[in-house]
């Protein structure tokens, strides 16, 4: 089943503090907050503040941003006290992405899916 993008970027609303979120980490370029519909004991979304719709928008000029996503995931996992974890990113509507902004899911080991 192909998902459709939401018509609004709710992550931008969280970044701008227009809607509430349980923010666990923030820098000038990244924000991390708990998923409102968690699929694991720890389910945190890591979102760049720079508006990029999908991971297909990676280019030479923003490679460091994608590396920073993984670095922030490591930092947040340490803060949450989880040693092993899973990272997941849906890309584009046909890949299950719903929010039209790049984001990385940080999931504790209790998350199970068929890959």
CA angle in degrees (0–180, nearest 5) for 92-113-104: 40
Among the listed residues 77, 108, 107, the one whose alpha carbon sits nearest the alpha carbon of residue 90:
107
- Residue 88 designated active-site: no
* Annotated catalytic residue within 43, 59, 88, 103: 103
Helix (H, G, I), strand (E, B) or coil at 76: helix
8 Å CB contact between 21 and 34: yes
Which residues are marked as active site?
Answer: 103
């Amino acid at each position: 089943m192909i998902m459709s993008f939401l018509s609004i970027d709710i992550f931008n609303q969280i970044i701008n503090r227009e809607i509430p979120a349980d923010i666990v980490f923030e820098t000038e370029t990244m924000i991390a907050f708990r998923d409102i519909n968690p699929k694991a004991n720890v389910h945190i979304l890591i979102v760049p503040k720079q508006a990029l719709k999908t991971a297909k928008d990676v280019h030479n000029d923003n490679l460091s941003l994608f590396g920073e996503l993984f670095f922030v995931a490591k930092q947040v996992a340490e803060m949450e006290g989880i040693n092993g974890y899973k990272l997941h990113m849906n890309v584009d509507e046909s890949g299950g992405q719903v929010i039209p902004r790049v984001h990385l899911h940080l999931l504790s080991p209790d998350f199970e899916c068929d890959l």
